Amino acid sequence: MTTPFHEYFEVSPTTIQQSVGARVFYKPYLRALNDYDVLLAGITDAHDMFHVERTGAPFHVVLFALEGEGQITNGETAQPLPAGHFAILPAGQRAGFELTGPNWRLVWFLLNDCPRWSSLQREEPLIRPARSPASLYPAVLTLCEEAWLSEFDQSFATPALTLVMQLLQRELNTEPQTSDIALRLQRLFGPVLLYPARPWRVDALAAEFGVSVAHFQRLCVRYLGVSPQQMLLSHRMNRAMEMLQAGIGSVGEVASAIGYEEIASFSRRFTQHFGMAPSTVLRRRN
């Protein structure tokens, strides 16, 4: 059941916005946002008039100011949000943000009020310097554009989302609150590094973890940032890189050691993963 809350918007036609949402009625819509408890993410280039205020919203608002002038509001009080800073507007309060100069460029997120983002819950809004907000803007822009292009095939939008969430968590200096799940998943995949040649299967790993394959897929994307298939591939390729850099065997021997019967198939995968051929790694070592 949706919690009722009040929203006020005053946005000029000259303001340009792009966003992507986690619900089917948003356009564009990206289901994978739900794996990170993100309701909406977007960018704003505000001009002339831009004022948003909410009371009792069941989500946190995180704003990154890149350039221009604006402020956040907390009831009847206001604070400037300088470029290069970000603001957290906690859920459940009366808070907003508005343009105070000729223009204001923002990256913003609406994050569900849930255990994953519990560190954002506070008594009043917070402003602090951002580490590298400029990198968030092109990442979120790419996410929005790929979500439009990937209405039926979200294979490109999902990696873009993974990057955006990594950048956001770095800025917030926060990790998912359910880190025990991430730790259990990491332990589950640990033996792949030790025994990469074994015929590892996602369904068997899901059964060992005690969940269905579909749920296991979602957990891996949510807490590890990649699918289980990508995790298996990454562990095998990392082990291959370790062996090549240590001079343990030829390319063919390394391929066999991590479970590949064909050298060509291994070389192709390795090159796609690292951007260089395994033979190049050996040559550089020698």
Q: What is the pLDDT of residues 198-237, one digit of tens each?
A: 999 999 999 999 888 998 999 888 888 789 999 999 889 9
Per-residue b/e over 221-260, b at no fewer than 16 CB within 10 Å?
bbbbbebbebbbbbbbbbbbbebbeeeeeebeebbbbbbb
pLDDT score of 154? 62
Q: What are phi and psi of 70, to 5 degrees?
A: -165, 180
Question: Domains in the chain, ordered, with CATH?
Answer: 6-172 (2.60.120.10), 179-285 (1.10.10.60)
For the cut 60, the answer to whether the pLDDT of residue 153 exceeds it is: no
| DSSP H or E segment with residue 21 | strand 16-21
pLDDT grade for 103, boundaries at 50, 70 and 90: very high
| CA angle, residues 174, 178, 181, in degrees to nearest 5 | 125
Q: Which of 236, 283, 280, 279 is nearest to 256 (CA)?
A: 236
Please tell me the distance from the alpha carbon of residue 45 to that of residue 62, in angstroms, as a whole number.
Answer: 16
Residue 172 C-alpha from the chain's centroid: 12
Return the number of other C-beta atoms located less than 10 Å from residue 209's C-beta. Answer: 17
pLDDT of residue 224: 81
pLDDT band at residue 194 using 50, 70 and 90 as cut-offs: confident
| Interacting residues of 18 by C-beta distance below 8 A, sequence separation 6+ | 42, 43, 141, 144, 145
Cβ neighbors of 204 (< 8 A, separation 6 or more) are none
Of 247, 226, 225, 236, which is closest to residue 270 (Cα–Cα)? 236
Q: What pLDDT score was predicted for residue 166?
A: 87
CA distance 185 to 176: 14
Q: Give the CB-side neighbour count of residue 82, counting CA atoms within 13 A.
A: 4
Structure tokens at 113: 């009020």
What is the pLDDT at residue 95? 94
Report the chain's mean pLDDT, rounded to a whole number. Answer: 88
Single-letter code of the amino acid located at 17: Q
pLDDT at 262 over 70: yes
Local confidence band at 177 (pLDDT 50, 70, 90 cut-offs): very low
Is the per-residue pLDDT at 175 higher than 60? no
Q: What is the pLDDT of residue 2?
A: 53
What are the helix and strand counts (H, E) for the chain? 9, 9
Tell me: pLDDT of 134 over 50. yes
**CA gap 140, 63 in Å, rounded:** 13
Decide if 95 contacts 74 (C-beta within 8 A).
Answer: yes
Residue 132 confidence class, pLDDT cut points 50, 70, 90: confident
pLDDT interval class at 141 (50, 70, 90) = very high
- For residue 172, give both structure tokens: 């917030």
Query: Under a CB-based contact definition with an 8 Å cutoff, are residues 266 and 255 in contact?
Result: yes
The token pair at 136 is: 């968030």
